[in-house]
Chains A and B, each alone.
Chain A
Amino acid sequence: MNPIQLSVEPSTEPKVTKPLLHSQERLELAQQAGNIGTFEWNIQTNEVVWTKEHETLYGLPTGDLQGDVQLLLDCVHPEDLNNLQEAFTVSAEQGTDLELEYRVIWPDQTTRFLLSKAKVYVDQENRPERMIGVTMDITERKELERRKDEFISIASHELKTPIASLKGYNQILQQYLKKNTDPKLKEYIDKMDGQINRISQLVGSLLDVSKLQENKLELNKECFSIDDLIKELAEDIQQIVDTHTIRLALNCNCEIEADKFRTGQVITNLINNAIKYSPKAHDVVIRSEIKNNYVQVSVEDFGVGITKKYQKLIFNRFFQINTKIRGSFFGLGLGLYISSEIIRRHGGRIWVESVKGKGSTFYFRLPIKAKK
């Protein structure tokens, strides 16, 4: 008999299960350290099991609470409950991944922000069978985000006050110099006013972004002619731009129900971009037309253009394309993000068609009748 064999035989089982045990331990440790809870919901039998971390996250006493979904639902913030139930139902019915942020209220009445992510697994007949997911506490991240937004909000407010004084003094100077005959003086003061307006707009952009992040951007809808608005804004810009001619082909002839100030902001942003990114061209063309229940506005330039891979990204926050000539294009990279959010919140759509080196055409559509 081989003594080695003897000693090997009994150890076969632990050899297999030891790595498994270790893996289980590692998982538990990771879950505890990361304060991550896992859950499994049998969609067909409506049974739920979860790890004890899940109870901690919801503020429940840890113990034998398995299976009672109501216990969890009772902890969810009343304002988030409908949204949560709908998200789980949609995900379970359609088999789509779930990613959801919501609040729970702990027994000591503190509010915590949770994030749940889950996948749905189907049975042999391709019906959604189980949902397995993780839940984690994101309260700290939320708090940091809130403080960042609050900071931007306060900073923009604080910046606006000295800008207001600066603009005021400059306007007083303009008044004084009305009688002065030196044309250079007037020119420089006017340029200064232009620069003050620019910094004022930049600060305004920062404030808009913080409002978008906090979901506080409100639309004040009214009825107005989109063609008249385009004409008005194009004339304003043409007055201070002598490198480009803005050509108009406006065929809407109708009133739309939208936020006039915010819509104007989008049009101005697109015209200014068209001029900025076509330094060697001389034309910008704005068109408007009716497409079913929408008005469609386009702004075409014959400038540097945008390669395909950047065409979606340019609507993201803080995104700017890095090019060799980047240095000549100033800006915060917020304009198109703000524009796309304004259009989206109206129930419209914004997009771009472009050929690198040939030029770009930016389009947006707004519903003629405001969506409720």
Chain B
Amino acid sequence: MTKILVCDDDQGISEVIRIMLESEGHQVLTLPNGKGIIRRIQEYQPDIFFVDIWMPGIDGKEIIKLLRSDPQTATLPIIIISALDNIAEISKSCGATDYLPKPFEMDHLFGLVKKYS
């Protein structure tokens, strides 16, 4: 079992990811935005963190910046989720570990979780 945190303002995507991963026996927490994200991560202690790049309020890039500057989360596997076309570039430039483009195949999601567990 892997502990996974998903942060996306699109509730459809969050729910889809949660149902898929729970069906594989993982534990999933979803958050609709980045409010108090650092505290939530410290409490939940996820093994993998999925985060949307475009969100109202604090966005994905800022969250990653905060996490990477904290020694406790500097090496946390962070996977960005986005429908943006240049997601690969963004992933590299903002310090994410990997990326999941929208729309995605379920096996792709499972593959990423397996890789970073």
Interface residues of A (CB under 8 A from B): 157-158, 160-169, 171-172, 175, 196, 200, 207, 211
Contact = CB atoms under 8 A, between A and B. Distances in A.
Interface of B: 10, 12-13, 15-17, 19-20, 23, 83-85, 102-106
Contacts of A211: 85
Contacts of A162: 12
A124 to B, nearest CB: 57
B83 A171 contact: no
A207 B102 contact: no
Given A161-B12, A163-B103, A172-B23, 4 more contacts: A161-B10, A162-B12, A167-B103, A207-B85
Given A200-B103, A207-B85, A172 B16 contact: yes
Those 7 A-B pairs whose CB atoms lie nearest each other, nearest first: A168-B16, A165-B12, A164-B102, A160-B83, A164-B103, A167-B103, A171-B106
B12 A168 contact: yes
Nearest to B20: A172
B20 A171 contact: yes
Contacts of A164: 12-13, 16, 83, 102-104
A157 B15 CA distance: 20
A173 B18 CA distance: 14
A165 B16 contact: yes
A339 B53 CA distance: 30
Given A160-B83, A160-B103, A161-B102, A169 B23 contact: no
Contacts of A160: 83, 102-103
A166 B23 CA distance: 18
Contacts of B102: 160-161, 163-164
Contacts of B103: 160, 163-164, 166-168, 196, 200
A150 to B, nearest CB: 13
22 contacts: A160-B83, A161-B12, A163-B102, A164-B12, A164-B13, A164-B103, A165-B10, A165-B13, A165-B15, A165-B16, A167-B104, A168-B12, A168-B17, A169-B16, A171-B105, A171-B106, A172-B19, A172-B20, A175-B23, A175-B106, A196-B103, A207-B85
Contact of B13 (A157, A168, A172, A175): A168
Contacts of B13: 161, 164-165, 168
Contacts of A161: 10, 12-13, 83, 102
A238 B23 CA distance: 32
Contacts of B105: 171
A192 to B, nearest CB: 13
A131 B90 CA distance: 48
Contacts of A163: 102-103
Given A161-B10, A162-B12, A168 B20 contact: yes
A367 to B, nearest CB: 25
Nearest to A208: B85
A22 B85 CA distance: 57
Contacts of A196: 103
Best-surrounded residue of B16, B17, B19 (most CB of chain A within 10 A): B16
A54 B10 CA distance: 52
